Amino acid sequence: MRVLLIGPPGAGKGTQAARIAAHFDLARIATGDLLRQEVASGSELGRTAKAYMDRGDLVPDEVVIAMTRERVVKANAEGGYILDGYPRTLAQAEAAHRWAEARGVPLDLALLFEIGTDELLARLAGRAREEGRSDDAEETVRHRLEVFRSQTHPLVDYYRRRGILVRIDAVGPVDAITEQILALLHWYKFKALTAGADRPEWAIGQGDG
């Protein structure tokens, strides 16, 4: 299964991605985490990325696309992946799409995490206190939300047109949101399996009772 998560910062993508990945044994590819590792290691890529990240801007497309390519290839060979925080621009979405189409392994679903701005600001203020992420300061957060609106939100229409967008209500208890997503993905897997079966749909359940 190949799934991606779209949502503003603080929508809970990271938490849910980790749970979905564990449940379905998928690789979680989280570009924010990968970039923070690069920054921590002091690599050249990390030094390039840091200035963008501290400002709350997106790291240039070519850097992020190059960083994810190998991981996606490996994860795909091992049974699938969940993209967390990638793609974040139309150029990234096109790159991911072209890659997957060329190999005959298109993305299955794009999950859109929907949540209001006030709730996000409250959550991110909490995260700034608990995790001390430098880009969770209030001014930077507002800028990141604006970057999401202008650069990432257009992906909603892109995936809607491709027919793979599903909206997730990202407000409420974390466990309930996980349940909602897992149920959806199980249903999707079942549907994909039965659609490929060589007997007609009406035959399902034939012979029972």
H/E segment holding residue 166: strand 165-169
Rounded distance, CA 50 to CA 45, Å? Answer: 9
As given in the structure block, the two tokens for residue 54 are 């501290």
CB of 116 to ligand AMP, least distance (A): 18
Q: Does 16 bind ligand AMP (CB under 6 A)?
A: no
133 is catalytic: yes
Hey, what are 83's tokens? Answer: 């993209």
Residues of span 81-100 touching ligand AMP by CB under 6 A: 85-86, 88, 92
Given candidates 9, 109, 136, 164, which one binds ligand AMP under the rule CB under 6 A? 9
Contacts (CB under 6 A) with ligand AMP, residues 44-83: 52-53, 56-59, 64
Site for ligand AMP in 18-37 (CB under 6 A): 31-32, 35
Nearest Cα to 168, choosing from 113, 110, 209, 105? 113
Residues near 120 by beta carbon (within 8 Å), at least 6 away in sequence: 8, 9, 10, 11, 141, 145
Distances (CA, A) of 117 to 8, 33, 161, 165: 9, 23, 25, 21
- Smaller CB distance to ligand AMP: residue 89 or 109? 89
Closer Cβ to ligand AMP, 121 or 188, answer by number: 121
Q: Residue numbers of the site for ligand AMP (CB under 6 A)?
A: 9, 31-32, 35, 52-53, 56-59, 64, 85-86, 88, 92, 135, 144
Residues designated catalytic: 13, 88, 127, 133, 144
